[in-house]
Amino acid sequence: MSVTVSIPTPLRPFTSGQDSIELAGDTVGQVIDGLLAAHTGLKRHLLQDDGRLRNFVSLYLNETDIRHLASTATPVRPGDVLTIVPSIAGGSPATADGKASLSHAEMLRYSRHLLLPEVGVSGQRKLKAARVLTVGAGGLGSPLSLYLAAAGVGTIGIVDFDVVDLTNLQRQIVHGTSTLGRSKLDSAEERLTDLNPNVRIERHETRLTSQNALEILGEYDIVVDGTDNFPTRYLVNDACVLLAKPNVYGSIFRFEGQASLFYAAQGPCYRCLYSEPPPPGLVPSCAEGGVLGVLPGIIGSIQALETIKWIIGAGSSLVGRLILFDALKLRFRELELRKDPACPICGTNPSIHELIDYEAFCGIGAEPAYDGPEITVEELRQEMRAKAGDLVLIDVREPHEWDIVHIEGARLIPLNQLPERLAELDGHAEIVTHCHHGARSMKALEILKGAGFGKVRSLAGGIDAWAERVEPGLARY
Amino acid sequence: MTLRLSAGLVEEIRRAGVQAYPNECCGVLAGHPGEVKEVVRLVPVTNQRTDDPHRYLIAPGDLRQVEAGLRASGLEVLGCYHSHPDHPAAPSAFDTDQAWPWYSYIIVRVDRGGAAELTSWVLNDDRSAMSPEPIDVLSEV
């Protein structure tokens, strides 16, 4: 005869569905050891890392809690029934009371918030107790982090690994001329703590990857996505769904922006909206296509607003709604978003259970490689002097870029017009294509080679390298 | 898995959260297990944690009693519900740490005394986190 162990419903998935199991042993401890040896999946639910029973697991020998007997050393006899009884516990996050009380100076600083019944002292304390992660300290991250810091969000984590560049300052207002060349984290931390010294900035000077995302995002209550590329956007979305965190989304391009709040527990996620990324190269980045500087100010402020509303629990959130903003028409539109039951990560039968390779998912590295013969700016200068009339330099940028700066002697044929204007070119001439940094001129090279032009090369580094190393008097952009 | 319950039971949970505010309410979800867990009855349980308004505990002795009472009606414990006064209806680290597998954990957010969102959660097998569980609300006929 042996002891019967009675298994509660939540543990039956780990005992092949059995509700009771016969086991031998002299003590409760031995019986439990035997149970865990036979059903190893039970172990992490019943035992702590140090091998002791978890505090929410109770064992009853017949009708008595073994804590009232001799615990695991309690002897057992054949015919005894050992019952595993759950206790169910939990609770809301540590309360703001006490931990996040407001000083007199803080009362004064936030007085315009305290006057709003929707915020009040309790809302302000929630802001102080809140932990918000902003991914990116760029165009969206700037207004976002400034307003969150000003509003008194207690802890702001920032993920960024870039340095402040002169081209950033047209829109990235958390940085300044005095912090050019320094890391964006240094620069943002300096400005934000000057704006509000009560705010704690947590620095994550790294690229967000599938390896570190769960660990970094897991430390925060709410995540705000200020990224400018698809792999990171899908990564942030998936990590938020897996961690059950709200994801305040914003994106901008040229004169248009979008914002929403993705929270899979209540509504759709980013994948319900866009199940797959666009083909690489189809949607240019802000660095390629430009962006009006005030646009991220508007979208980033909407993200800050949604974050603050979420923390204090005021108003109606953007869950299930997508805001589309057109700056030229000055028009906001709103689309209703539905949760997609077939969504691969938050649908009813999700196929994604862990983070994947987002670069591969977005086709990065799989684009056709436009590699062809290149020429350096120094070689071009020499050849232009030596061959003068025999060398044709084609600028494949856009006319408004030509107006900013161009190389003397070049001909403007924008890349999208090139296929129709091939007849203008002499098939026997030596051709060099150039653009801003050297990517578009490679595509031009492909078009020319495809059309049978033999002697074509692309200027490595584009007009930017030319202005840097050959003709320093030229403007850069 | 999906959790199915009537709109009336959802309302009952919201009311319990409002009544207990600013403390947490807690209780047991009773019903029929299966691919879709069907909740047919709520069993309110006295919160044994009186030391901290932001914690709840359904003691093992209480749960045994509840289970014995349900067995007569052919029902099983499917999980529990509790409220988060002035906090989002997402599991706290403490919720995850204390969670049992398979059980559904319904959380209702109660803001300044008014019930807000209501969500359900299930512990991941590796105990790393709790995942949202779809709730299928049956409207009253």
Long-range (24+ apart) CB contacts under 8 A made by B136-140 are B136/B2, B136/B3, B136/B4, B136/B5, B136/B36, B137/B4, B137/B5, B137/B6, B137/B7, B137/B10, B138/B4, B138/B5, B138/B6, B138/B7, B139/B6, B139/B7, B140/B6, B140/B7, B140/B8
A222 vs A215: CA distance, rounded Å: 14
- Asked if A91 and B77 come within 8 Å (Cβ–Cβ), the reply is no
- In sequence order, what are the beta bridge partners of A319? A261
What value does the mean pLDDT take over residues A292-318? 95
- In sequence order, what are the beta bridge partners of B38? B4, B32
DSSP B93-130: HHHHHHPPSS-EEEEEEEETTEEEEEEEEEE-TTSS-E
A14 vs B: CB within 8 A: yes
Q: Where are the alpha helices (DSSP H) in A152-217?
A: 184-195, 213-217
A342 vs A271: CA distance, rounded Å: 10
- The alpha-carbon radius of gyration of chain B (Å, integer) is 14
Whether the CB-CB separation of A350 and A343 falls below 8 Å is answered with: yes
Handedness of CA A133, A136, A137, A139 (dihedral sign): negative
**pLDDT-derived band of residue A95, with 50, 70 and 90 as boundaries?**
very low
A16 vs B: CB within 8 A: no
Which residues from A are below 8 Å from B57, CB to CB?
87-89
Distance from the Cα of residue A344 to its chain's centroid: 18
Q: Nearest by CB to A90, which of B28, B85, B94? A: B94
Chain B nearest-CA distance from A224, in A, is: 16
Our answer to whether residue A272 is catalytic in this structure is no
Query: Model confidence over A136-171: pLDDT tens digits?
Result: 999 999 999 999 999 999 999 999 999 999 999 999
Q: Nearest by CB to A266, which of B33, B119, B126? A: B119
What's this model's pTM, rounded to 2 decimal places? 0.58
What are the Cα distances from residue A157, in Å, to A133, A218, B132, B140? 4, 11, 25, 45
Our answer to whether residue A362 is catalytic in this structure is no
- Asked if B129 and A244 come within 8 Å (Cβ–Cβ), the reply is yes
Q: What is the pLDDT of residue A1?
A: 59
Query: Model confidence over A102-132: pLDDT tens digits?
Result: 888 999 999 999 999 889 988 999 999 999 9
Q: Nearest by CB to A90, which of B56, B85, B88? A: B56
Q: How far apart are the first and last CA of chain A?
A: 86
- Asked if A95 and B116 come within 8 Å (Cβ–Cβ), the reply is no
Whether the CB-CB separation of A374 and A433 falls below 8 Å is answered with: no
Q: How far apart are the first and last CA of chain B?
A: 25
- Please state, rounded to an integer, the average pLDDT across all residues of chain A: 90
A470 vs B1: CA distance, rounded Å: 66
- The percentage of chain A sitting over the pLDDT mark of 70, rounded to a whole number, equals 95
A65 vs A68: CA distance, rounded Å: 6
B72 vs A319: CA distance, rounded Å: 43
Which residues from A are below 8 Å from B90, CB to CB?
244-245, 265
CA-nearest of A352, A210, A204 to A270 is: A352
Query: Model confidence over A195-210: pLDDT tens digits?
Result: 999 999 999 999 999 9
A162: which 2 tokens? 């870039």
Can you tell me whether residue A321 is helix, strand or coil? strand
Whether the CB-CB separation of A263 and A251 falls below 8 Å is answered with: no
CA-nearest of A63, A40, A67, A64 to A53 is: A67
Q: What is the pLDDT of residue B125?
A: 87
Which residues from B are below 8 Å from A89, CB to CB?
49, 55-58, 94, 98
**pLDDT-derived band of residue A246, with 50, 70 and 90 as boundaries?**
very high
A12 vs B: CB within 8 A: yes
Q: Could you tell me which chain A residue has the CA closest to the CA of B110? A: A313
- Asked if B86 and A242 come within 8 Å (Cβ–Cβ), the reply is no
Question: Would you tell me which residues 55-84 of chain B have a C-beta closer than 8 angstroms to some C-beta of chain A?
Answer: 55-61, 63-64, 76-78, 80, 82-84
A312 vs A317: CA distance, rounded Å: 11
Question: Active site residue: A286, A343, A346, A362, which one?
Answer: A286
User: Is residue A98's pLDDT more than 50?
Assistant: no
ipTM: 0.85
Which residues from A are below 8 Å from B112, CB to CB?
122, 313
Question: Active site residue: A240, A272, A346, A435, which one?
Answer: A435
- Asked if B54 and A91 come within 8 Å (Cβ–Cβ), the reply is yes
Sheet with A155-159, strands from edge to edge, namely A200-204, A155-159, A131-135, A222-225, A247-253, A256-262, A321-326, A331-336
Query: Model confidence over A441-471: pLDDT tens digits?
Result: 988 998 998 888 888 999 999 999 999 999 9
What value does the mean pLDDT take over residues A423-446? 89
- Asked if B100 and A88 come within 8 Å (Cβ–Cβ), the reply is yes
Chain B nearest-CA distance from A56, in A, is: 7
Can you tell me whether residue A301 is helix, strand or coil? helix
